Amino acid sequence: MILLLTVAAAICGAQTPNPDSKFGPSNPFYAPSTLPFQTAPFDKIKDSDYQPAIDAGMAQQLAEIELIANNPAPPTFDNTFVALERSGQLFNRAWNAFNLVSQANTDPELEKVQDYEAPRTAALADAIDLNPKLFARIKAIYDRRATLGLDAESLRLVEYDYQQFVKAGANLSDSDKEKLKKLNEEESTLENTFMTKLLNATTAASFSTTDPKALDGLSEGQIAAAAEEAKAHKQQGWMLPLLNTTQQPDLTFLKDHATREKIFENSWNRAEHGDANDTRSTVARLAQLRAEKAALLGYPNYAAWTLTDQMAQTPEAAIHFLDALVPATTAKAASEAKEIQALSDFPSGESAPDPADWEFYAEQVRKAKYDYDESQVKPYFELNNVLEKGVFYAAHELYGLTFKERKDIPVWQPDVRVFEVDDADGTPLALWSCDYFKRDNKNGGAWEDSLVGQSKLLGTLPVVYNVANFEKPAPGQPALLSFDDVTTMFHEFGHGLHAMFANTKYPSLSGTSVPRDFVEFPSQFNEHWASYPAVFANYAKHYKTGDPMPADLAAKIVKAKTFNQGYDFTELLAASELDLEWHTLKASAPLQDPDVFEQEALKRTHLSVSYVPPRYRSSYFLHIWQEGYQAGYYAYTWSEMLDDEAFQWFADHGGMTRANGDRFRRMVLSRGNTEDLEKMYDTWLGRKPSIKPLLKNRGLEDAGK
Q: Which residues are catalytic?
A: 492
Q: How far apart are CA 53 and CA 60, in angstroms?
A: 10
Q: Which is nearer to Zn ion, 346 or 490 (CB)?
A: 490
Residues 6 or more apart in contact with residue 550 via CB below 8 angstroms: none
Distance (Å, whole) CA 354 – CA 173 = 54
Closest to Zn ion by CB, 499 vs 535, is 499
- Scan residues 226-245 and list those touching Zn ion (CB under 5 A): none
Shortest distance, CB of residue 244 to Zn ion, whole angstroms? Answer: 19
**Which pairing describes strands 463-470 and 428-437: parallel, antiparallel, or unpaired?**
parallel
Closest approach of Cβ 433 to Zn ion, in Å? 17
For Zn ion, give the closer residue by CB, 517 or 520. Answer: 520
The 575-594 site mask, x for binding Zn ion (CB under 5 A), equals --------------------
> For residues 37 and 634, which CB has a smaller minimum distance to Zn ion in the complex?
634
**Residue number, 246 or 523, with CB nearest to Zn ion:** 523
| Nearest approach, Cβ of residue 400 and Zn ion (Å) | 24
Going by C-beta distance under 8 Å and a sequence separation of 6 or more, which residues neighbour residue 434?
A: 387, 416, 417, 419, 465, 466, 467, 468
Shortest gap between Cβ of 435 and Zn ion (angstroms)?
A: 16
Q: How far apart are CB 328 and Zn ion at their closest, in Å?
A: 25
* Smaller CB separation from Zn ion, 430 or 467: 467
DSSP, residue by residue, 150-215: --HHHHHHHHHHHHHHHHTTTTS-HHHHHHHHHHHHHHHHHHHHHHHHHHHHHHHT-EEES-GGGG
**Considering only CA atoms, which of 461, 487, 466 is closest in space to residue 670?**
461
Q: Which of 590, 678, 41 is nearest to 321 (CA)?
A: 678
Query: Could you say which residues in the range 620-639 bind Zn ion, by CB under 5 A?
Result: none
Considering beta carbons, is residue 447 or 543 the nearer one to Zn ion? Answer: 447
Please name which of 417, 508, 521, 396 lies closest in space to residue 454, comparing C-alpha atoms.
Answer: 508
- Cα–Cα distance list, 438 to 104, 260, 471, 494 (Å): 9, 31, 6, 21
Whole-number minimum distance, CB 527 to Zn ion, in Å? 9
- Note whether 450 binds Zn ion by CB under 5 A: no
Residue (206 or 526) nearer to Zn ion, CB? 526
**DSSP line for 396-439:** HHHH--EEEE-TTS--SSTT-EEEEEE-TTS-EEEEEEEEEE--
Best CA proximity match to 609, nearest among 331, 363, 247, 360: 331
Total count of residues recorded for the chain:
705
* Contact (Cβ atoms closer than 8 angstroms) between residue 141 and residue 80: yes
Minimum CB distance to Zn ion smaller for 444 or for 459: 444
Q: 523-542 mask for Zn ion (x: CB under 5 A)?
A: x-------------------
Q: How far is the CB of 130 from Zn ion (least distance, A)?
A: 31
Query: Least distance in Å: CB of 491 to Zn ion?
Result: 6
Nearest to 30 by CA among 52, 8, 4, 47: 52
Minimum separation from the CB atom of position 362 to Zn ion (A) = 26
Q: Which is nearer to Zn ion, 158 or 519 (CB)?
A: 519
Query: If residue 221 lies in a helix (H) or strand (E), which one and from where to where?
Result: helix 220-232
Could you give the string, one character per residue 3-42, with x where binding to Zn ion holds by CB under 5 A and - elsewhere?
Answer: ----------------------------------------
521, amino acid identity = F
Answer whether 140's CB lies under 8 Å from 129's CB. Answer: no
**186, 417, 602 from 468: Cα distances, Å:** 37, 13, 36
How many residues at the interface with Zn ion, by CB under 5 A? Answer: 2
The C-alpha atoms of residue 518 and residue 395 are separated, in whole angstroms, by 21
Kindly state the helix (H) or strand (E) to which residue 77 belongs, with its residue range. Answer: none
Task: Tell me how far CA of residue 548 lies from CA of 221, 374, 395, 521, 567, in angstroms.
Answer: 33, 16, 21, 30, 34
Least separation, in Å, of the C-beta of 523 and Zn ion? Answer: 4
Give me the 504-523 binding string for Zn ion, x by CB under 5 A, dash otherwise.
----------------x--x
Q: How far is the CB of 664 from Zn ion (least distance, A)?
A: 18
Q: Whose Cβ is closer to Zn ion: residue 206's or residue 433's?
A: 433
Instruction: Judge contact between 457 and 506, C-beta under 8 A.
Output: yes
Residue with Cβ nearer Zn ion (466 or 592): 466
Q: Which residue is nearest to Zn ion (CB)?
A: 523
* Dist. CA 365–CA 339, nearest whole Å: 7
Q: Distance from CA of residue 518 to its chain's centroid?
A: 11
Q: Name the burial class of residue 210, with classes exposed (0-12), middle (13-18) and buried (19+) by CB atoms within 10 angstroms of its CB.
A: exposed
CB of 498 to Zn ion, least distance (A): 10
How many H helices and E strands in the chain?
28, 7
User: Are residues 485 and 452 in contact, defined by beta-carbon separation less than 8 angstroms?
Assistant: no
- φ and ψ of 290, to 5 deg: -65, -35
Residue 165's contacts (CB-CB under 8 Å, 6 or more residues apart) are 129, 135, 138, 139, 171
Could you count the other beta carbons within 10 Å of the beta carbon of residue 298?
12
Interface positions with Zn ion (CB under 5 A): 520, 523
